Amino acid sequence: MSRQGNSQDYDWLVKVIVIGDSGVGKTNVLSQFCDSKFSITHMTTLGVDFKIKTIEADGKKLKLQIWDTAGQERFRTITKTYYKGAQGVILTYSVIDRQSFYNVDGWLKSIQENTNSNDVQLVLLGNKADMSAERQVTLEEGMKLSQQFNIPFFETSAKSNMNINEAFQNLSQRIIQTLSKIQANDETHNLNIKQTGGKEKPKSDICC
């Protein structure tokens, strides 16, 4: 994460990653949000893929660098490097693929193992909601799972653009809240150091 000055056209540059099982529509979610595009043909993403989009929320401009998993999830090779520096996570399953729904728990564990989860904001997407005839996961099941883990939840359709912008807007607002708190804490810390002449009070080694 980087904080920019007034000369830039954004307030923060942040990294967002899109994760979930292969075939749930992650690349189309990303393409719809950034480029208003949707591809009916399923093509497995290969290599590192990310897009840039600036979004405004709560009076601040976030420049989102949004990373796709580039097909690595098929081989369970997503590494800590992919998660490194992420302030936001779009965790996606497909409502027409029950196994991808069951695997959400494993993805959440991966997030906890590879990030400072206290500072990372998440959104859960139940994608392909337009394919009602093939649905395997109900809206109620998605809502129950999101409540269990206390994660904002949206059923989405990358094809029709249903709730795609809303999901990213929700995530961006919570990222801004987190970054604003971190910035405020840093400013308070620096002010305390300045007031004590650059010296912090030594901690006592005495244990009670």
pLDDT digits (tens, 9 = 90+) for 5-46: 445 788 999 999 999 998 999 999 999 999 887 776 545 545
Structural domain includes residue 26: yes
Mean pLDDT of all residues in 51-64: 90
Instruction: Assign residue 178 the CATH number of its domain.
Output: 3.40.50.300
Structural domain includes residue 205: no
At residue 180, what is the residue type?
S
Structural domain includes residue 136: yes
Handedness of CA 169, 83, 86, 150 (dihedral sign): positive
H helix runs in the chain, sequence order: 26-35, 80-83, 98-102, 104-114, 139-149, 164-195
- For the chain, how far is it from start to end, CA to CA, in angstroms? 40
Please indicate, yes or no, whether the overall pTM of this predicted structure exceeds 0.75. Answer: yes
Structural domain includes residue 179: yes
Task: Indicate the number of domains in the chain.
Answer: 1
pLDDT tens-digit profile of 145-190? 999 999 999 999 999 999 999 999 999 999 999 998 887 876 554 5
Q: Smallest Cα–Cα separation from 92: which of 159, 154, 170, 137?
A: 154
- Find the largest Cα–Cα distance for the chain: 68
Mean pLDDT of all residues in 57-66: 90
Place of tokens 């990303």: 30
